[in-house]
Structure 1
Amino acid sequence: MGTGAADGVRAVRAGLAEADRRVVDAFERHLGLERGLSEHTVRAYVGDVVSMLGFARGLGVGVAGIELGTLRGWLARMRDGGAERASLGRRAAAVRTFTAWAHRQGEMPGDPGLRLVAPKRERRLPTVLREDQAAEVMAASARGAEQLDPVALRDHAIVELLYATGVRVAELCGLDVDDVDLAKRLVRVLGKGGKERVVPFGAPAATAVRLWLDQGRQTLARDYSPPAVWLGARGGRLQPASVRRIVRDAVDAVAGTPGVSPHGLRHSAATHLLEGGADLRSVQELLGHATLSTTQLYTHVTVDRLKAIHDRTHPRSR
């Protein structure tokens, strides 16, 4: 959420009736303290709820008087304002979470969100690297680290571990040194909703991470540095924006590769696992997906590739 949008949410929130502001404050505490959602997720949920309550206030309606028609009218205004289907779906989900909670708390006589339906989100196939492209990116990154420059060692270890494990960029940045077991080649990550999981990684990633920890990290570390695996130039914990730049630079160094982000490496890891014969349930566990349907998105990629191979190689494909 940009500065302008955040200021807009604060202004609308301040303009709500005192009783509605109290409910929003309680909902925010519920998301952060009881459900353990990230600060970013809480901010997004609360922003959507405040937007809806601001719309309702314009109709002279407070929390207790919100009905299904109120919610539909709010979504319609979002749609008319150019909001995409994915955005409408996210907003509807946030409001449904709010109305269900408010009903349980006795703030609403019923739950109008139960029947709120938003346009289905378009599920686009993710952009992924081919296996040979991923290998070239890793090789180019390794060559860049041959001179043992601390930053180059760190950047190479990051792209290797992202591709080896398929962890999210926030999970990667949250790693502490004790979370990495180089002997067993396992990494312990804290995923969405505070759920912890252990993910294995291969020998190339282990070698890259060991070089960084043994020969690079101490150069960037300061007395005040946290126990983070990844440190920035000033000794603080590396931030997701820096990791996105590192991945973009690594991929751009290899001609002909599609532009992918850290999430693109995650997509690539999942796709290559499935193409290599991994079962869907195992990939779901490795990636930390809450539902199998999320992991199933990757099967579309592998099916498309199988069809392309069949069309190109089978004598009776045409």
Structure 2
Amino acid sequence: MARKGYKLNNRPGMRFVGNLSDPQGFELLLQRWLEWLGVQNYSDKSAQNYDVYTRYFMRWCDERGITQPREVTRPVLERYQRYLYHYRKETGEPLSFRGQRARLAALRQFFKWLTKQNYVLYNPAADIELPRVEKRLPRHVLTVSEVEKIMLLPDLSDGLGIRDRAMLEVLYSTGIRRMEVVNLQLYDVDKERGTLMVRLGKGKKDRMVPIGERALAWVEKYLVEVRPLLAINPHEPQLFLTNLGEPFTPARLTQIVRRYVLRAEIGKTGSCHLFRHTMATLMLENGCDIRFIQAILGHVELSTTQVYTQVGIRKLKEIHTLTHPARLERTTRQDEATDTPTREITADDLLDALDAESEDEQDELLDADDE
């Protein structure tokens, strides 16, 4: 087990590769690496992705009689890179360059660790060039009318429909990530202050974000009318529960949100991240300074050369009220929102970062589709 919460055998269809009793074999060394990642406080998701991506390579090696990392050379890795480039899924589609890059980057980290631990004499992956990631246009962003069309789809005569509307409103109002929605707990919602506490977000950082009055109203309705009926365990801390009274998984949340987007018949696809991207884009169009959006989204930095400006929650709440398209009313104190930091970060920087997040989220779903 790499760390508490992530187990090597927790994925359907996963099988061990090679001889488990071989102290120099792939399988045993992979498990030791994953344990090291846990000791170094890597997230469970990072450990899982490294496990999945490295195991793809291990199976490829096993089919070619390569059973130990020390048998891997630079030419072997170059052959594997060509294999990834020419690989086709069952649908006939190739792996995205981002998907290829993720698999090769995992190997660079694996062999870097093996070299430091003296399991191999040199790092054959040290100088391997990763594929350049293409820019994807156009960006998928919803209009205000498209968002409202989606919001009207949940069946409000049913408790699950009220729950779904509340989740959609939270995604749209706060722009938090799907994992952050899944991890929300009951006491993370502060109705008086109009805020959400996002605990252990990406990078294991806590942050407080504003939430609009409309979203708060739907969350309150869900808490009063629906959640007591879903909560089988009265001590369950998670805010949103499934019809079985269990906490959501990211995949289940994605399925529900994607279903509503498809039902809206707006000619666009996407799921949770679509609302995150939409919120940021529409707030930009409404005049919100990029650094405030950066703080709400939890982007510590958009490049290695730009310094993050800490923004107080009171100011964030004010800016959110002024510029979020789902606000119930626009405050008349527009002039108070003009005291904003200089725009050193461009709108394109912010949207590019959101695009990269979206593609990373999609790559997490490739595991079941690619092989």
TM-score, normalising length: structure 1: 0.79
In the alignment, the residues of structure 2 paired with residue 45 and residue 154 of structure 1 have an alpha-carbon distance, to the nearest angstrom, of 34
Does the 8 Å contact 1:129/1:257 carry over to 2? no
Is 1:287 the counterpart of 2:297? The answer is yes
Name structure 2 gaps, 5 residues minimum.
1-9, 89-94, 304-346, 355-371
Residue 296 of structure 1 is aligned with which of 349, 356, 360?
349
Matches within 5 A, 1:1-318: 3-4=12-13, 6-7=14-15, 10=16, 12-14=17-19, 17-20=22-25, 21-39=27-45, 41-55=46-60, 58=64, 62-82=68-88, 83-125=95-137, 126-138=139-151, 140-141=152-153, 144-145=155-156, 147=157, 149-189=158-198, 190-223=200-233, 226-256=236-266, 258-289=268-299, 291-292=301-302, 296=349, 298=351
More displaced stretch, 269-278 vs 50-59: 50-59
- Asked whether the equivalents of residues 302 and 353 of structure 2 are also in contact (C-alpha less than 8 Å), the reply is no
In 1, Cα distance between equivalents of 2:127 and 2:117:
19
| Residues 167 and 266 in structure 1, CA contact (< 8 A), matched pair in contact too | yes
The worse-fitting range, judged by mean Cα deviation, of 13-22 and 118-127 is: 13-22
Describe the superposition over 1:192-233 as per-residue Cα deviations: whole angstroms up to 9, x where unpaired.
343322221111111111111122211212235621101112
Compute the displacement of 1:264 (Å): 1.3
Q: Which shows bigger deviation, 155-164 or 120-129?
A: 120-129
Letter aligned with residue 42 of structure 2: G
Secondary structure at the aligned position of 1:210 is classed as helix
TM-score by length of 2: 0.69
* Aligned 8 A contact 1:182 1:206 in 2: yes
Q: Secondary structure at the match of 2:126?
A: helix
User: Which letter maps to 1:201?
Assistant: I
Judging changes above 3 Å, is the alpha-carbon distance between structure 1 residues 295 and 283 closer, same or farther for their aligned structure 2 residues? farther
The Cα RMSD (Å) is: 3.1
What secondary structure sits across from 2:197 in the alignment? strand
Note the C-alpha offset of 1:25.
1.1
The structural deviation recorded for 1:128 is 1.7
* 2-structure distance, mates of 1:60, 1:221: 50
Query: What is the CA distance between 1:165 and its match in structure 2?
Result: 1.2
- Describe the SS at the equivalent of 1:187: strand
Bigger helix fraction: 1
Most deviating of 108-117 and 175-184: 108-117
Secondary structure of the corresponding residue to residue 115 of structure 1: coil
The SS at the match of 1:194 is coil
Number of equivalent positions: 292
Task: Return the alpha-carbon distance in structure 1 between the equivalents of residues 74 and 41 of structure 2.
Answer: 25
What CA distance in whole angstroms lies between the structure 1 residues aligned with 2:348 and 2:123?
Answer: 31
Residues 298/109 of structure 1: CA separation in 2 closer, same or farther (3 Å cut): same
Task: Summarize the Cα distance change of 1:166–1:67 in structure 2 as closer, same or farther, 3 Å threshold.
Answer: same
Counterpart residue identity of residue 207, structure 1: A
Name the % identity. 27
Q: Is the 8 A contact 1:163 1:266 kept in 2?
A: yes
Q: Deviations over 1:91-146 (max 9, x none)?
A: 111111112222232333333333111221223243221122223333x158x43x
Distance 1:251 1:15 in 2: 45
Q: Contact 2:195 / 2:208 at 8 angstroms: preserved in 1?
A: yes
Contact between 2:18 and 2:67, CA under 8 Å: does it hold in 1? no
AA matched with 1:86 = R
The answer (yes or no) to whether the contact 1:224–1:235 under 8 Å persists in 2 is no
Deviation at 1:299, TM superposition (A): 5.9
Given that 2:184 and 2:238 are in contact with CA atoms closer than 8 Å, whether structure 1 keeps it comes out as yes
Please say which of residues 254-263 and 113-122 is displaced more in the overlay. 254-263
Alignment deviations for residues 40-80 of structure 1 (CA, whole Å, 9 cap, x no partner): x4233123323434555646573345443332222122223
Structure 1 residues 61 and 73: CA distance shift in structure 2, 3 A:
farther
User: In 2, are the aligned partners of 1:128 and 1:260 still within 8 Å (CA)?
Assistant: no
Cα separation, 2, equivalents of 1:238 and 1:92:
31
Q: Note if contact 2:66-2:72 (Cα within 8 Å) is conserved in structure 1.
A: no
Distance 1:185 1:277 in 2: 21
